[in-house]
Amino acid sequence: MIAVDHEIAIARALVEDVNGDPWVVLTATYSELASVCGIDASWIGNDGSRTRFPAKLAMRAFRPLRGATADEHGVWFSATVIVQQDGSYEFAYNYTDPVEWEEGVLDESYIADLARHPRPWGEVPEWHPVKRDYTEESWAAALAKGIK
């Protein structure tokens, strides 16, 4: 239920971020790794055109959602929300695909993020730097030693 409360807050914040512009659909994708985060938000107008906008309130609202949805399977790399003009919304969570960042993100960020929010070895995506740099045993040993 906690995640639903966060989702509602995010959807409302996204609507506030638009600040009265004539939108039909709002979309925002929030990505986070270790201490790096970003948001890409846009609205679609009545004419079908897409306009990007800064979503500062939504970005702030997204931050606690990641920790609130963490479990023994780790956390998501990005989350996308779509808000319809009637107030309905839907969320999709990306647990498996790499995120495209405007600025490059170092492998260390991916590694630190997985150390903070571990997941079973079989659920670590093959592209993840931990799969390249560690074996299952060496990763478990690194976690036991408190890798950051």
Map out the domains of the chain as residue ranges: 2-103
Query: Do the beta carbons of residue 80 and residue 92 sit within 8 Å?
Result: yes
* pLDDT given at position 67: 86
CATH topology of domain 2-103: 3.30.500
Write out the chain in H/E/C secondary structure: CHHHHHHHHHHHHHHHHHCCCCEEEEEEEEEEECCEEEEEEEEEECCCCEEEECCHHHHHHHHHHHHHCCECCECCCEEEEEEECCCCEEEEEECCCCCCCCCCCCHHHHHHHHHHCCCCHHHCCCCCHHHHHCCHHHHHHHHHHCCC
Task: Render pLDDT for 75-119 as a digit per residue (tens, 0 to 9).
Answer: 999 999 999 999 999 999 999 999 988 777 888 899 999 999 999
Count of all residues that appear for the chain in the document: 148
Q: pLDDT band at 148, cuts 50/70/90? A: low
* pLDDT given at position 21: 79
Lowest-confidence range among 41-50, 52-61, 103-112, 122-131? 103-112
pLDDT at 1 over 60: no
